[in-house]
Amino acid sequence: MSELIVEFNNVSVAFDDKTVLQDISFAIHAGEFWGILGPNGSGKTTLLKTLIGLIKPCSGTVRLFGKDPSQPSRERSKIGYVSQQNQTDPNFPLSVLDVVLLGRAGKIGLGRRPKAHDKSAAREALQKVDMEAFAKQRFGDLSGGQKQRVLIARALAVQPQLLLLDEPTSALDVNASESFYDWLDSMRRQLNLTVVMVSHDIGVVSSFITKVACLNKTLVAHGVPDKVFTTDTLSAMYGCDAVLFHHGKIPHMVVAKATHEQNEERDTRD
Ligand SMILES: Nc1ncnc2c1ncn2[C@@H]1O[C@H](COP(=O)(O)OP(=O)(O)OP(=O)(O)O)[C@@H](O)[C@H]1O
Ligand SMILES: [Mg+2]
């Protein structure tokens, strides 16, 4: 079995007494490509933030490279994190290279200027995402897909082993999303990265990921996609009737409208 990278043991997270994640246990090993799926508000972003120690669980334990992620440690530099994006301001004044250098802020130190080796690490990261030619261009002028690659370069600028992506294709159309996943998959193989990606694209994602976690406050199911993607699992995850059908090897899902009882049950959930 390859190296254990992340371990959740009976982890629960609450905000102001409201439980958002409940009794989550799973493990991520080196080289895996995880997809985290779940409806809006199901706790996906909270799970990623708990994994990197930005949020502390109210019970249970999280281990990242064998350590408690909420305590400062060297292990932090083994993680690249691309957070969930809102629309980026088109007038964002920084160059592409500046944006990537922001990823090294922790290494450069507060108020210090980047050194030559920081700039070469940033250029190397841009090379990895095929965006080196854009280094001097204004970040705000790039297309959605190009911006997403640059944000990944920013995460790669610390040379991480684990890359976390929170809905990286939310600003992309279907075609751009598919080629983005293609590219991401070949990049992670080349760089030998472990990847955890939050996504809504169940069909597209399932052709690339090696493991999936279906979340709706609890971990409804997790494991290899073939075993996890069943009509029952998806209905439990979305809290309403879901029908799963396959087009070749690719699963597609149709979600039926929630019944009145299901809506009431959801409204009364804590
Ligand atoms: N800092 C916070 N304080 C209070 N409540 C929070 C906080 N962060 C998240 N929540 C709540 O926790 C729940 C899960 O939020 P989270 O952002 O993890 O969902 P998500 O699955 O990422 O949703 P989406 O698909 O919309 O991004 C939501 O009900 C949200 O309102
Ligand atoms: Mg989210």
Contact 21, 217 (CB under 8 A): yes
d(CA 109, CA 103): 11
Looking at residue 56, its pLDDT comes to 96
Residue 248 has pLDDT above 70, yes or no: no
Q: Looking at ligand 1, which residue's alpha carbon is closest to its atom 25?
A: 40
Residue 20 has pLDDT above 90, yes or no: yes
Quick one: 4-268 is in which CATH superfamily? P-loop containing nucleotide triphosphate hydrolases (3.40.50.300)
- Name the least confident of 29-33, 88-92, 189-193, 220-224: 88-92
What confidence category does residue 74 fall into, taking pLDDT thresholds of 50, 70 and 90? confident
For ion ligand 2, residues whose CB falls within 5 Å: 44-45, 84
What confidence category does residue 29 fall into, taking pLDDT thresholds of 50, 70 and 90? very high
Identify each DSSP E strand in 42-149 by its residue range: 59-64, 79-82
Determine whether the shortest distance from the Cβ of 188 to ligand 1 is under 6 A. Answer: no
Q: Over the stretch 76-122, which tens digit does the pLDDT of each residue have?
A: 789 999 888 655 565 678 999 999 998 887 777 767 888 888 899 99
Average pLDDT across the chain, whole number: 85
Determine whether the shortest distance from the Cβ of 41 to ligand 1 is under 6 A. Answer: yes
Ligand 1 centre distance from Cα of residue 239 (Å): 17
Q: Looking at ligand 1, which residue's alpha carbon is closest to its atom 3?
A: 15
Q: Looking at ligand 1, which residue's alpha carbon is closest to its atom 4?
A: 15
Residue 9 CB partners (closer than 8 Å, separation 6+): 25, 60, 61, 62, 63
What confidence category does residue 250 fall into, taking pLDDT thresholds of 50, 70 and 90? low
Q: Which residue has the higher pLDDT, 103 or 68?
A: 68
Ligand 1 centre distance from Cα of residue 126 (Å): 31
Ligand 2 centre distance from Cα of residue 158 (Å): 24
Q: Which residue has the higher pLDDT, 219 or 231?
A: 219
Ligand 1 centre distance from Cα of residue 127 (Å): 34
Write out the H or E segment, with its range, that includes residue 129: none
